[in-house]
């Protein structure tokens, strides 16, 4: 049970194509602030890489990336903006 991290916030970007998943991720992070655990769920694979690049560039901590059959989940801890 110890490895499971419960997200405090969720963002569903399924059905969205670039650049919307990154823009929605940025907006959500600004809304929730720093130190929060955010789970991002999407299904457009190119957006997964773009979201990861954005998170790293902005200094957020990517905790986990899961590839499921038709979607992905990214778990991130937000930093101070």
Which of 5, 18, 62, 81 is catalytic? The answer is 18
Measuring CA to CA, which residue among 77, 69, 81 is closest to residue 39? 77
Is the Cα torsion angle 17, 21, 23, 28 positive or negative in sign? positive
Sheet strand arrangement including 61-67: 9-12, 37-42, 72-77, 61-67
Q: Is 52 known to be catalytic?
A: no
Q: Which residues are catalytic?
A: 18
């Amino acid at each position: 049970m110890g490895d499971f991290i419960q997200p405090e916030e969720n963002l569903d970007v399924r059905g969205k194509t670039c650049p919307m998943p990154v823009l929605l991720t940025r907006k959500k992070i600004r809304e929730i602030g720093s130190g929060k655990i955010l789970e991002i769920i999407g299904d457009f694979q190119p957006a997964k890489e773009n979201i990861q690049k954005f998170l790293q560039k902005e200094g957020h901590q990517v905790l986990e990336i899961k590839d499921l059959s038709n979607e992905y989940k990214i778990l991130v801890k937000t930093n101070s903006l």
